[in-house]
Structure 1
Amino acid sequence: MENPTNETEAKQIQLNGEKKPKGGIITMPFIIANEAFEKVASYGLLPNMIMYLIRDYRFGVAKGTNVLFMWSAATNFTPLLGAFLSDSYLGRFLTIAIASLSSFLGMVLLWLTAMLPQVKPSPCDPTAAGNHCGSATASQLALLYTAFALISIGSGGIRPCSLAFGADQLDNKENPKNERVLESFFGWYYASSAVAVLIAFTGIVYIQEHLGWRIGFGVPAVLMLIAALLFVLAFPLYVRRNVSKSLFIGLAQVVVAAYVKRKLSLPNQQDSSLTYYHMKDSELKAPSHKLRF
């Protein structure tokens, strides 16, 4: 045998006191659980949210629909920003960690709107004679919209980075079964995402309808806390790649430089030839107007 087995290598590494390699299949449960719990928590809030806005915040159907439409649009747009920040500045691990915290804080704020009567309009029966039910104040709406914004930011950081971050843990070119391991990870990832959405649209909705908003919003907050803790606890096991310069940043720099230098005067043709082709010790030849030199 030219090469020792994996078990022999692992034992030799331990005997020599060297650090074990990071990444690998051991990190997969933490990454997949983080994504799955986030989907259960966030997707479970959406189906019944229109009823919560109408009954507790006294939104009209049109206004409530517009608010939820804007929330969904923000949730679908923020992954673009999350991917950009992850690739250019923060890295995938830090992006997912911050996003998990943001999503958890948003769900806690939303849970507080159901727990504390002071942060939403007081109960009122609009069908009773002489009752004039007031609408939500600016501060109450600000708290509600802040919760929505934090949840959208969390989704924007987790969803575009989880799959790529998981692939980073398994990307081992020296392993002959690398492609098979990656395919298995992708299969489990998408399967868990589908199951998470199914649980969100059934289990979370059932809890909200039968146990009320307090428990219905509290369960997603607890799930998001578990997701964040599971992901962060595996910090020593992760492979964390360095960020690279984004192509979009380079393109933006070119556009800015072109705009700043738009009024610079260009040299004439003779000066251009002297400048670019006949500098001292230059081996370049001046271009010709003919087809041959």
Structure 2
Amino acid sequence: MNRYVTSWFEIPAASFTIFMVLTLTIWIAFYDCILVPFIAKYTHEPRGFHPKTRMGIGLVISTGGMMVSAIVETKRRDFAGSNTTTVMSAMWLVPQYALLGLAEALNSIGQIEFYYSELPKGMSSIAIAMFLVSNAISGLFGSLLIKVVDTITTKGGNISWLSSDINKGHLDYYYWLLCFLNLLNFFYYLVCYHVHRSSSS
């Protein structure tokens, strides 16, 4: 993909995650300084949206981010397989990184605030530990998922979805799988949300 922003500046491939970090940073400032005072008038919640609501919105946006990733990757493969000499712009990757950054800002921060609100003040370190443990487990699960997908999709001599040659593999299928898993996770969250609300009332 064409990573040139101008005729002389090319964004390094590994640096595209900066768009996720920028979105996260900008959203936090925008939410705390502008949205919270406005939303609080209607929700009567000092933090704007309740942490559980933010977590749910973050999961929905994360699912959308995977959907956008799959669509862009499909377009990229079609572009690479065509006879045109034009190279697709890498700026098409920015929306998915922005969505994932927004999802992270909503879900992760909402999750931390939820732990702090549910646990006694003296257990604040437990809240952070729980959050870090959940991130570590998700990292292990992600590695396991990659291994399973690679093993299953190479059966019968087929090319892996996650082939090092992305034009021969099907990274778009993998994104759709992640989209489906994100959707399942959201429905699981809704069950947990309902159980917690029932037990709190």
State the TM-score bracket (shorter-chain normalisation): 0.5 to 0.7
Pairing 1:134–2:85 present: yes
For 1:218 and 1:151, the matched residues in 2 are separated by: 16
1:26-45 aligned within 5 A: none
Q: 2:61 is matched by which residue type in structure 1?
A: A
Query: Structure 1 residues 178 and 236 mapped into 2: Cα distance closer, same or farther (>3 Å)?
Result: farther
Q: Considering only CA atoms, is the larger Rg found in Structure 1 or Structure 2?
A: 1
More helix by share: 2
How far apart in 1 are the matches of 2:126 and 2:107?
A: 16
Corresponding residue number in structure 2 for 1:155: 100
Call closer, same or farther: CA 1:63–1:154 in 2, change over 3 Å: farther
2:75 to 77, 94, 113: 113
1:99 equivalenced with 2:85 (yes/no): no
CA contact (8 A) 1:101 1:154 kept: no
What is the CA distance between 1:209 and its match in structure 2?
Answer: 2.1
**What corresponds to 2:175 in structure 1?**
220
User: Counterpart amino acid of 1:135?
Assistant: T
Q: 2:164 aligns with which of 194, 204, 209?
A: 209
CA contact (8 A) 2:56 2:189 kept: no
Query: By how many angstroms is 1:81 displaced?
Result: 2.3
1:26-60 CA-partner distances (Å, limit 9, x unpaired): xxxxxxxxxxxxxxxxxxxxxxxxxxx3xxx7x9x
Counterpart of 2:82 in structure 1 is 122
Letter in 2 for 1:218: Y
Deviations 1:107-128 (A, max 9, x none): 122331255x3x44624xxxxx
Contact 1:106 1:151 in 2 (8 A): yes
CA distance in 2, matches of 1:211, 1:69: 16
Q: Which sections of structure 1, spanning at least 5 residues, go unmatched?
A: 1-52, 124-132, 241-293
Larger relative contact order (C-alpha < 8 A, sep ≥ 6)? 1
- TM-fit CA distance, 1:219: 0.9
1-structure distance, mates of 2:104, 2:97: 11
Q: Secondary structure at the match of 2:86?
A: coil
Whether the 8 Å CA contact 2:58–2:105 is kept in 1: the answer is no
In the alignment, structure 1 residue 231 sits paired with structure 2 residue 186: yes
Q: Provide closer, same or farther for how the CA distance between residues 101 and 84 of structure 1 changes in structure 2, counting only shifts above 3 A.
A: farther
Distance 1:208 1:217, change over 3 A: farther
Structure 2: distance between partners of 1:212 and 1:104: 19
Q: Deviations over 1:228-259 (max 9, x none)?
A: 4412542364489xxxxxxxxxxxxxxxxxxx
Q: Distance in 2 between matches of 1:209 and 1:187?
A: 31
Query: Paired residue for 2:114?
Result: 169
Residues 202 and 236 (structure 1 numbering): CA distance in 2 closer, same or farther, change over 3 Å? closer
* TM-score under structure 2 length normalisation: 0.57
Q: Deviations over 1:59-91 (max 9, x none)?
A: 9xx999526366333222111123235543574
Which residue number in structure 2 is paired with residue 127 of structure 1? none
- Number of residue pairs matched? 166
Distance 1:99 1:173, change over 3 A: closer
CA contact (8 A) 2:119 2:127 kept: no
Aligned in 2, Cα 1:196/1:104: closer, same or farther, shift over 3 Å? same
Where structure 2 has 5 or more consecutive residues not aligned to the other structure, the ranges are: 37-47, 151-159
